[in-house]
Amino acid sequence: VKGPRRTGVRVGLVGSAFMGRAHSFAWANVASVFGEVSRPELVAVCSRDRGRAAELAGRYGWGESEEDWRRLVERADIDLIDVCTPGALHKEISVAALQAGKHVLCEKPLANGLTEAVAMVAAAQEAWEAVGAQAVVGFNVRRFPAIRLAKDVLSGAGTLRHVRASYLQDWLVDPEFPMTWRLDRSQAGSGALGDLASHLIDLAQYITGQQIFEVSSLMQTFVAQRHVAAASSGLSATSGADLGHVTVDDAVAFVSRFADGPVGAFEATRFATGHRNSLRIEVNADDATVGFDIERPNELVVYRPDGGLEGFRCVNVTEGAHAYMQAWWPPGHVLGWDHSFIHQARDLLIGIVEGEKVRPDFADGLQVQRVLDAVERSARAKQWQTVQESEPSYGNHVLND
């Protein structure tokens, strides 16, 4: 049985691209920054592209590099499998790892489809009960201090009325930008929906403490054919000669209702000229409004009544009293996007040591998946769709505590 441990957690990473690098950065730094955390051991990294795995190993100090993720799952000297692959592999790897009694950190969205996500939750539940294995989904945006503060401000700020959230990028505006795996439904599951809107949905449900229960949506593919990528890295790529069919959405927009009354307006796109990576969310409660923009992640916009001096204020969320910030720099010395992954690693490692379930877990990921599924159904049916009932959750599962 997994239990509290004093030595460092032994990590195996699957994936060596954009997310693989961001997670490596996190594992390498988490114990240096957070003194309360034992240093994880970077045992092995795995990628279908062996050379890239080896390079990442050299960079970040992974002990070994592998081509087949099964090698990692089989190893007894690995405690945690970190899944940074395209969505198509999330289920197979995660379930195998959980069945091998390992903790799993799986990138978002949890899966490419609802069936897979349900299976993953089942495996997670079993592994939790059997060996206390963590099964966490990588919604890193929750880990910004500003998001924690947003949730705090809203609790006790009266009735919630509105959520509006958008995730705008523009890397597909250029029609010469090539096909990559992110534009292929068989690998990515969906486009802007799963990649971008999934963050919005998780954030919205987390901050408000309420689930979305119905949606009406549209999905759009603006450019249907693109040249197949010769090479890609992160969100950049170069084109080859062959044409491929874009099988995912370039953009999605939906209106929605939350469990206890607020209404939501959501939008995600890769065609918003000028927006490199603009994730924004605003929530209006009767007694407060909060707003966040991931391109200025150290700031939280807050509105609260104040006797005639009300106004949207920009809180610099870098004080020692703010979540995670005691470990960093003096006030006003801002963090970057990548620091959120260090926070994620910290929370996960502490949960492992203390034997406490870390959130967002696979059940949270499944709930997001259900919303993604309802959005897809609604876009096809051109009418409102209800978000599927949750499977009986394992443990005493309360949203967002």
- Residues between 223 and 252 that touch its own copies (CB under 8 A): 234-236, 251
Q: Which of 332, 389, 392, 401 binds its own copies (CB under 8 A)?
A: 332
Q: Which residues of 174-213 are buried (b: 16+ CB within 10 A; e: fewer)?
A: eeebbbbbbbbbebbbbbbbbbbbbbbbbbbbbbbbbbbb
**67-126: which residues touch its own copies (CB under 8 A)?**
none
**Would you count residue 334 as binding its own copies (CB under 8 A)?**
yes
State the number of binding residues for its own copies (CB under 8 A): 99
Q: Which stretch binds its own copies (CB under 8 A): 82-90, 103-111, 169-177, 240-248?
A: 169-177
Rank residues 161 and 245 by Cβ distance to its own copies and give the closer one: 161
Residue of 22, 135, 348, 358 interacting with its own copies (CB under 8 A) = 22
Span of 88-96, 130-138, 304-312, 348-356 interacting with its own copies by CB under 8 A: 304-312
Nearer to its own copies, 243 or 263 (CB): 263
Q: Of residues 3, 4, 51, 61, which one binds its own copies by CB under 8 A?
A: 61
Shortest Cβ 350–its own copies spacing (Å):
16
Cα–Cα distance between 270 and 265 in angstroms, integer? 17
Angle, vertex CA 155, rays to CA 212 and CA 256, nearest 5: 15
Distance of closest approach, residue 284 Cβ to its own copies, in angstroms? 5
How far apart, in Å, are the Cα atoms of 7 and each of 34, 41, 79, 136? 15, 9, 11, 21
Pairing of β 135-137 and β 212-220 = unpaired
Q: Nearest distance from residue 357's CB to its own copies, in Å?
A: 28
Peptide bond into 109 cis (omega under 30): yes
Per CB under 8 A, does 217 bind its own copies?
yes
**Distance of alpha carbon 304 from alpha carbon 107, whole angstroms:** 35
Partner residues linked to 385 by β-bridges: 215
Among 50, 185, 304, 397, the residue binding its own copies under the rule CB under 8 A is 304
- Site residues for its own copies, window 24-43 (CB under 8 A)? 24-25, 28-29, 31-33, 35
Residue 216 φ then ψ, to 5°: -135, 130
Helix (H, G, I), strand (E, B) or coil at 13: strand
* Residue 272 C-beta: closest distance to its own copies, Å: 5
Mark the segment that binds its own copies (CB under 8 A) among 78-86, 95-103, 191-199, 293-301: 293-301
CB of 332 or CB of 392, closer to its own copies: 332
Residue type, position 19, single letter: M
**Member of 4, 77, 314, 356 binding its own copies (CB under 8 A):** 314
- Residue 301, φ and ψ in degrees, nearest 5: -85, 130
Neighbours of 83 (CB within 10 A): 26
* DSSP E strand stretches across 158-258: 160-168, 212-220, 225-233, 236-245, 251-258
Binding mask 259-278 for its own copies (x = CB under 8 A): --x-xxx-x-x-xxxxxxxx
Comparing CB distances to its own copies, the nearer of 113 and 145 is 145
Token pair 């592994």 in the structure block, residue: 127
Q: Nearest 5°: phi and psi at 344?
A: -65, -45
Binding of its own copies by 156 (CB under 8 A): no
Which of the ranges 134-142, 196-204, 330-338, 362-370 carries the binding residues for its own copies, by CB under 8 A?
330-338
Of the residues 224, 231, 243, 321, which one makes contact with its own copies according to CB under 8 A: 321
Rounded to whole angstroms, the Cα distance separating 178 from 1 reads: 47
Q: Segment 353-392, which members bind its own copies (CB under 8 A)? A: 382-384
